[in-house]
Amino acid sequence: MKVIMVTGFKHTGKTTLVERFITTMAGKGVRISGILARGSWKNGLRDGFYLVDLSDGSSVPLAQRLKHPDPNSRVIFEFFEAGMAAGARALAPDRNRASDIVIVDEVGKLEAVGEGWAFRIRELLELRRPIYIWVVRTDFLGKIRKSFDLQSPTVVSIEESDALKHLQVVVGEALGKV
């Protein structure tokens, strides 16, 4: 099993890096599946997320910023049932069994406590074939490693001067295509 974590702080381009990586893999015969959480912005503020199913390119609303968040809570986004269901379908082991790479954007706060995509990630980790690329905020790296008992995941930081090249190299090595 090979887990590669693309990491960085909030709003630093983790998803953008993974999207650029996917583009570089086009036409190379590498099967990529999983999910991306594309952010949407309004008035300079993250307004929500759209879930993209990498198997078929479909996109559905995943979450939206609460208009009136509870000041006593750290919850600022409302997740949509349809978006969560679409993500669960996209991460089902049967949909990813033949993939070379499975991307999960994002593995974070919810997964660290067994919620969100955690149940699907645990199922996926039972598969032997794919390489996993997880988008993980820097402040959750330790919690995610512990939650999924990852001994030595490869970490690619968005802060590296050539993070895309690093990601390409580690994936190439994992695929045996260096």
What are the residue ranges spanned by the domains of the chain?
2-175
Q: How much is the pLDDT for 177? A: 66
Q: How much is the pLDDT for 1? A: 56
Report the distance separating Cα 61 and Cα 48, nearest Å.
Answer: 8
The tens digit of pLDDT for each residue in 1-34 reads 589 999 999 889 999 999 999 999 988 889 999 9
Helix, strand and coil content of the chain, in percent to the nearest 5, comes to: 35, 30, 35
Answer yes or no: is pLDDT of 134 > 90: yes
Q: Which residue has the higher pLDDT, 111 or 68?
A: 111
Answer yes or no: is pLDDT of 71 > 60: yes
Q: Which residue has the higher pLDDT, 161 or 69?
A: 161
Answer yes or no: is pLDDT of 72 > 80: no
| Residue among 131, 121, 110, 164 nearest 30 (CA) | 131
Residue 65's pLDDT band (cuts 50, 70, 90) = confident
Which residues, other chains included, contact 44 with Cβ-Cβ below 8 Å and sequence gap of 6+?
none
Mean pLDDT over residues 135-164, rounded?
95
Answer yes or no: is pLDDT of 90 > 50: yes
Q: Chain-wide mean pLDDT for the chain?
A: 91
| Residue among 107, 102, 78, 108 nearest 90 (CA) | 102
Was domain 2-175 assigned CATH 3.40.50.300? Answer: yes
